[in-house]
Structure 1
Amino acid sequence: MPSIASHALTIPASPIRRIFDLAQGLEDVVFLNVGEPDLPVAPHVLAAGARAWREDVTDYTPNGGIPALRAAIAHKLQRDNGLDVDPDQVWVTAGGMQALHQAMSLTLDAGDEVLVPDPGYVNFSMTARHVGAVPVPYRLDPDDGFRPDLAALEEAVTDRTRVLVVNSPSNPLGTVYEAEVLRALVGFAARHDLWVISDEVYEQFTYDVPHVSTASLDPDGRVLSVFSFSKTYALTGARVGWFVAPRAWDQLLRTAQEAVVSCVNAPAQHAALAALEGDQQVVADAREHYRGNLEAACDLLSGKGIRYQRPFGAFYLWVDVSHAGGGDVATWCEEFLLDRRVAVAPGTAFGAGGEGWIRVSLAGTREDVLTGLSRLPDPS
């Protein structure tokens, strides 16, 4: 038989998915391992998608998405993110993951290196491997609130480095980078002539700090921005995101999109348009729901004497269980699931820097969050 492409065999399996799979078939599991909003989708969004299906709006759309949605996104980016982009620079994708894949596939050749945060979203490394590139972790400094360590970045860059990945608000850490941090990262990329992929999927969920888009601090057009409707509007299964590209990439992306998905399904695009143009109170309500879960979770952990990284964005809590993990937090998470029926994500799913930590999703019900955290072992 012919062999499988060698780079495909290097794509790492997701430890988060392993916990999810182990939990299947177990009874009374509290799921705190996956970032799945438990809030319902707004009725006007559901109605727009349903109407599109009923009216047979099921033909191909332009590769980059329906014009009304691209225009609405461009307007949103100008209003909320300080980004002056044309609708032609907005490419509607099958979720943020396809946007990330497009960004990497167009900037990385086989064997090129991409700097990914550690701890950082596991799919950054998975996607890099998928396009034949080599993910190189850069340290986020726990002694500085998990901000990037510029000295570590300078040590990590080589003559094969082509891309720097930046994620704010961060999954899994909940860190939100100030403008000066992002400006320093853009400056680093400029010194080494790198592309910057800025993952801003959690942009709408920050707590008492502003979200700053990396591209708003970029004078050269080297920042490629990735966004999604999934978390903001609880549309994870609809698979609609977008990618903001340089103006000169129009024809390139037309070809690339055709080669990958042709276009995103039309009813989902109409639902996304309704989400963006409709009442945004649902987003504000979601933010306050997650904030409430966060405050309750922090109070519980503080009462138990368990250390955690207080997040200022996204809807995760980074919790230190090194007192119980025995230096192998992945195995401990499996045992915790089997013994205590609580599913959490091992910190090492997000890089070697996550040893001793777990990621807890705050996107569920308050009862589930508090029940699951109450079962964590206290420090001795």
Structure 2
Amino acid sequence: MPQLSANALAIPASGIRRIYELASELDDVIQLSIGEPERPVATHILQAGADAWLADVTNYTPNSGMALLRSAISTKLERDNGYRVDDDQIHVTSGGSQALHMAMSLTLTAGDEILIPDPGYATFSMIPKLLGAVPVAYHLKAEDEFQPSLENLEQSVTPRTKVLLINSPSNPLGVVYSAEKLGELLAFAAKHDLWVISDEVYEYFTFTHSFTSVAALDHDGRVFSVYSVSKTYGLTGGRVGYLVTPPGVASTFRAAQEATVSCVNAPAQLAVVAALEGPQDALHEAREHYGNNVEAACAVLDQLGLHYQRPQGAFYIWIDVSHASGGDVAAWAEHFLLTERVAVAPGVAFGPAGEGWIRICAAGKTNPLLTAVSRLPSPKNI
């Protein structure tokens, strides 16, 4: 029998999905392992998608997306992200995950290296392996408040490095980088002639720090910016994101898009037009709800005496359970699920540096969240 490709076999199984799938087989589980907003989607967004389906707007769209949507995104970028691009630099994708995949497909050749944060979102390492490229971790340390160190990056870069990946606000850490820090990272990329992929999926969810888009600081056209409406508008199943590229990439992107998904479904694109151009009340309410949840959960963590990274953005809390996990946080998370009926994401799902940590999602309802957090093992009782 023929064998599957080595690239495909090199992709590790998701430690987050392992917990999620195990939890789905159990009763009375409080689900904190995946980033699923529980806020209702605004009615005008749902109506726009429904109207498109009923009007039979179901034909192919351009590879890079409907002109109407790309124009709405262009306006949003100038208004909210502080930079201006031509519409042909904007490409609609099947969620932020595909935007990441396309950004790496356009910048990496087999054998190339990409610098990724550790801890960092699992897909950051999965996609390069599928492409035959090599993810190289730059470690983010608690003693540095999980800010990237230029010294660490300099030690990680090699002649084969082609891309630096930046994620702010961070999943899983909730860290938001300052404009000064982003400027340092861009200078590092310019020094080593690297592309930059900036994952800005959680752009609207910041609590204590202001958000800066990397591309707003880019002066030489090296940044690929990844966005999604999944978290912003609660459309995780709608599967719409977008990639903003440097100039001159449009024809290459469209060819690559044709070879993958061809285009994103039309009704979903029209729903996103409504999301971007319509009332933003639901977004503001969601941000307030997530911020309140984070503060309430942190108060419980403080009472328990647990060490954690207080989120500056996104809607996750990164918690140290090393006093209880015994050096195997993945096994501990499974045991915790089975005994306490709380599903949390083990830190090692985000890289080796996550050993001893867990990520919880604070995007759901408040009372179940606080109940779940109260079941975490206190170091006071060890």
Alignment partner, residue 112 of structure 1: 112
Residues of 1 paired with 2:134 and 2:254: CA distance?
A: 26
Quick one: which amino acid aligns to residue 305 of structure 1? G
**Correspondences of 1:1-380 after superposition (within 5 Å):** 1-379=1-379, 380=382
Q: Where does structure 1 lack aligned partners over 5 or more consecutive residues?
A: none
Contact persistence 1:329–1:356 (CA under 8 A): yes
Shift of 1:246: 1.5
The one-letter amino acid of 1:159's match is P
List per-residue Cα deviations over 1:242-265 (Å, max 9, x = no partner): 000122011111111111111100
Deviation, structure 1 residue 113: 0.7
How far apart are 1:128 and its partner, in Å? Answer: 1.1
Unaligned runs of at least 5 residues, structure 2: none
Contact 2:167 2:200 in 1 (8 A): yes
CA distance in 2: counterparts of 1:358 and 1:305, whole angstroms: 15
User: For this pair of structures, how many residues does the alignment match?
Assistant: 380
Cα deviation for residue 24 of structure 1 reads: 2.0
- 2: CA distance, partners of 1:266 / 1:331: 43
- Per-residue CA deviations over 1:326-372 (Å, capped at 9, x if unaligned) read 11111100100011110000011111111111000001110111011
Looking at structure 1, the residues matched to 216 and 178 of structure 2 have their Cα atoms a distance apart, in angstroms, of 12
Q: Partner letter of residue 171 of structure 1?
A: N
Q: Structure 1 residue runs of 4+, over 4 Å off?
A: none
Aligned partners of 2:150 and 2:330: how far apart in 1?
A: 29
TM-score, normalising length from structure 1? Answer: 0.99
| 1:183 Cα deviation from its structure 2 partner | 0.6
Q: Whole-Å Cα distance in 2 between the matches of residues 209 and 27 of structure 1?
A: 38
8 Å CA contact retained: 1:100, 1:226: yes
1:17 Cα shift? 0.4
Q: Deviations over 1:262-298 (max 9, x none)?
A: 1100000000110000001111000000001001000
Alpha-carbon distance in structure 1 between the residues aligned to 2:208 and 2:136 = 32
The secondary structure found in structure 2 opposite 1:136 is strand
In 1, Cα distance between the equivalents of 2:369 and 2:211? 25
Distance 1:201 1:329 in 2: 27
**Identical-pair percentage:** 62
2:337 is aligned with what amino acid? L
Structure 2 length-normalised TM: 0.98
**Contact 1:141/1:149 (CA < 8 Å) preserved in 2?**
no
SS in 1 for 2:107: coil
